[in-house]
């Protein structure tokens, strides 16, 4: 069955929360875990925020959630750190991209990124941005494969206390 991507609805939040939990569980003990943990980050409250303040997209493999991406115009990671890029309402930010562990390596992250880009374009955006922890090599490869390039390295977005001292800012022109 083909994977489809659509805008998430309020009724999808529980499923997306479960998806986040499964991804967090699979990341435990992995050297590329970007600090995700069940009941820590990301949570269903994060998904609700994206749904209410930006966009939350869900990938479905039949009726089963296969992945999700949350995006907003709010560059929340940029709040208050030195040399942060200037806010621009034409730039949208990807905050959480998650693919269920049983459905990874099937192109779902690429589908979700394209859908996020299409959504941002529909909102008159000219650029997509995201922050990725420098140790998360699988995510970096996926973003680079999708055409994102590193605009800034060694960025401290305030997560050093969680063992994540440096991030890279990636972006893609739409």
User: 157 to each of 15, 30, 41, 81, 109, how far by Cα in Å?
Assistant: 29, 22, 15, 6, 24
Strands 3-7 and 54-61, bridge-based pairing = antiparallel
Instruction: Say what the pTM is.
Output: 0.92
CATH of the domain at 21: 3.40.630.30
What range defines the domain where residue 33 resides?
3-173
- Number of domains comprising the chain: 1
SS3 string, 14-38, reads HHHHHHHHHHHHHHCCCCCCCCCEC
Task: Give the pLDDT confidence of 59-98 residue by residue, as tens digits.
Answer: 999 999 999 999 998 876 545 566 666 678 899 999 999 9
3-state secondary structure of 156: coil
Query: CA-CA distance, 148 to 145, in Å (whole number)?
Result: 7
Give the pLDDT confidence of 13-45 residue by residue, as tens digits: 999 999 999 999 999 999 998 888 998 899 999
CA distance 70 to 116: 8
Residue 65: which of 41, 44, 84 has the closest Cα?
44
d(CA 118, CA 67): 17
- Supply the pLDDT for residue 105: 86
Angstrom distance (rounded) from CA 86 to CA 25: 35
Percent share of the chain, pLDDT over 70: 93
Q: Please, are residues 59 and 111 in contact by the beta-carbon 8 Å criterion?
A: yes
């Amino acid at each position: 069955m083909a994977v489809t991507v659509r805008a998430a609805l309020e009724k999808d939040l529980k499923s997306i929360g479960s998806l986040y939990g499964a991804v967090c569980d699979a990341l435990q003990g992995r050297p590329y875990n970007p600090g995700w943990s069940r009941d820590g980050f990301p949570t269903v409250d994060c998904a609700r925020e994206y749904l209410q303040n930006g966009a939350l997209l869900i990938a479905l493999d039949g009726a089963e959630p296969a992945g999700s991406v949350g995006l907003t115009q709010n560059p929340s990671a940029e709040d208050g750190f030195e040399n942060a890029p200037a806010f621009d309402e034409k730039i949208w930010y990807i905050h959480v991209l998650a693919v269920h562990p049983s459905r990874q390596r099937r192109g779902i992250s690429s589908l979700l990124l394209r859908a996020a880009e299409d959504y941002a374009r529909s909102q008159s955006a000219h650029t997509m941005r995201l922050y990725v922890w420098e140790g998360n090599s699988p995510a970096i490869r996926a973003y680079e494969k999708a055409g994102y390039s590193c605009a800034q390295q060694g960025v401290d977005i305030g997560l050093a206390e969680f063992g994540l001292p440096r991030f890279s800012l990636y972006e893609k022109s739409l």
